[in-house]
Amino acid sequence: MFRGFSSVSVDSKGRLAVPSRYRTLLSGQVSDSLVITLNPLDRSLWLYPLPEWEIIETKLAALSDFDMQSRRTKQMMRGYASDCQLDNQGRILLPRELREYAGITHQAVLLGQGNKVELWDEDGWNTQRDQWLQQLGDGNGEPPDSLRSLSL
Amino acid sequence: MFRGFSSVSVDSKGRLAVPSRYRTLLSGQVSDSLVITLNPLDRSLWLYPLPEWEIIETKLAALSDFDMQSRRTKQMMRGYASDCQLDNQGRILLPRELREYAGITHQAVLLGQGNKVELWDEDGWNTQRDQWLQQLGDGNGEPPDSLRSLSL
DNA sequence: GGGAATAGTGGGTAATTGTGGGAATTACTA
DNA sequence: TAGTAATTCCCACAATTACCCACTATTCCC
């Protein structure tokens, strides 16, 4: 399971060093590769270990083609899914299209999210984060019931 | 169950000595590790024993991805949750981002809070504390029904 | 109260991890 | 087929982290 935060740099060639604690999880055991695709809900990317991705792919395949949102989600996620392999230094090369989609330039942020890792441009993420914190602080924006009843 | 107050120092490397009475609880029995994440409601951090955290993680995983606030809550709490292990002196290394979020510099304060321990910068805590005490005492700010009916 | 154990604090060193860039290889385009 | 761009492989440096040791303060116990 992925959790935790890392800030990593993306070099001029578009390479990103996967934090060492994720390496075995992401590429480790069975397959040597992981899948990176876009997150249709935010301007960010998702990294899956290959076995996890295959589960997602099955779920996507089951979505109806006759519902617009489902079809688009399917197209997007599958269409942009790329296989990556770690190089000898434990880095992956982020495809240019995906980098551009997520607006990733020099510094990026990795957020462990259970079965996947979410990858944001650092500035973009900080903006989102501050916005969200402010909303919570304000007490405005009426949290949904699921949140109201959440005890941490 | 965690309760009680401790003031501890955070050294120049960002390490914090977990008070000995918490050690067995936090890392003890089963797993050797604990999870530290941010408290989205205040500028402070939360420390969970791993088993407790896993309960929280399950709750978070159940939140909808299609509601913005829920999604952000999920991203933040899981995204910033870092596994920590005690070193031989019973200390943990606080990740830099979390230290910065909570404004923790040299001296910190630990507050037992049932299933978790809350971690504040000492100055920050003192300020907040005085402010709240005053608010409560004033009787301004309309307490919610749940508080009204609370007998201490 | 004195001594021993435990707890808290600080810092040095070695290993690991993250980062950048050059050179060689491959793929793509005109 | 030549030229350009993109990718891979490799080496080297810098920063961070883990591990270890030593010292001080506190607590506990006789």
Domain count, chain A: 1
Minimal CA–CA distance to B116: which of B17, B61, B35?
A: B35
Interface of A with B (CB under 8 A): 1, 3-5, 7, 21, 41-42, 111-114, 118, 128-129, 132-133, 135-137, 141, 143-144, 146-147, 150, 152
Interface of B with A (CB under 8 A): 35, 40-41, 46, 56-57, 59, 61-67, 69-83, 95, 97-98, 116
Residue B130: which H helix or E strand, with range?
helix B122-138
Report yes or no on A151 lying in a domain. Answer: no
pLDDT tens digits along B83-138: 998 888 889 999 999 999 999 988 999 998 888 999 999 989 988 888 888 877 77
> Is it the case that residue B27 has pLDDT exceeding 70?
no
C-alpha dihedral, B38 to B43 to B49 to B54, nearest 10°: -40
Chain-wide mean pLDDT for chain A?
A: 87
The strand order across the sheet containing A107-113 reads A5-9, A107-113, A116-121, A44-49, A33-39, A82-85
Report yes or no on B152 lying in a domain. Answer: no
Angle between helices B68-79 and A122-138 (to 10 degrees): 110
- Distance (Å, rounded) from C-alpha A16 to C-alpha A13? 9
**A130 contacts in B (CB within 8 Å)?**
none
B69 touches strand D (CB under 7 A): no
What DSSP designation does B12 have?
A: T
> Is the Cβ pair B80, A114 closer than 8 Å?
no
Please tell me which of A74-78, A116-120, A128-132, B71-75 the model is most confident about, judged by mean pLDDT: A116-120
Contact between B14 and B25 under an 8 Å Cβ cutoff? The reply is: no
Domain that holds residue A70: 5-140
Residue B20: which H helix or E strand, with range?
helix B20-23
Residue B129: which H helix or E strand, with range?
helix B122-138
Both tokens assigned to A121: 């441009």
What DSSP designation does B19 have?
A: P
Both tokens assigned to B50: 């791993």
Report yes or no on B21 lying in a domain. Answer: yes
A76 touches strand C (CB under 7 A): no
Strand partners, A46: A37, A118
Specify the higher pLDDT residue, B25 or A11.
A11
Report yes or no on A146 lying in a domain. Answer: no
What average pLDDT does this structure show over A67-94? Answer: 89
Q: How far is A146 from chain B (nearest CA, A)?
A: 7
Length of chain B: 152
For chain B, the helix, strand and coil percentages under 3-state DSSP, each to the nearest 5:
40, 30, 30
- Distance (Å, rounded) from C-alpha A145 to C-alpha A147? 5
Q: How far is the CA of A94 from the C1' of C22 (A)?
A: 21
- The three-class DSSP label of residue A51 is helix
> pLDDT value at position A107?
93
Local confidence band at B2 (pLDDT 50, 70, 90 cut-offs): confident
What is the CA angle B137-B139-B144, rounded to 5?
Answer: 120
Report yes or no on B146 lying in a domain. Answer: no
Report yes or no on B150 lying in a domain. Answer: no
Chain-wide mean pLDDT for chain B?
A: 86
> Is it the case that residue A31 has pLDDT exceeding 60?
no
> Is the Cβ pair B69, A132 closer than 8 Å?
yes
Local confidence band at A141 (pLDDT 50, 70, 90 cut-offs): low
Report yes or no on B122 lying in a domain. Answer: yes
CATH of the domain at A105: 3.40.1550.20
- What lies within 8 Å, CB to CB, of A126 at 6+ separation is none
> Is the Cβ pair A41, B74 closer than 8 Å?
no
**A115 contacts in B (CB within 8 Å)?**
none
**B95 contacts in A (CB within 8 Å)?**
4-5
What average pLDDT does this structure show over A48-54? Answer: 90
Task: State the SS3 of A55-108.
Answer: HHHHHHHCCCCCCHHHHHHHHHHHHCCEEEECCCCCEEECCHHHHHHHCCCCEE
Per-residue CB contacts under 7 A with strand D, chain A residues 87-106? 87-89, 93, 95-96
Report yes or no on B135 lying in a domain. Answer: yes
B92 touches strand C (CB under 7 A): no
CB atoms within 10 A of CB B88: 5
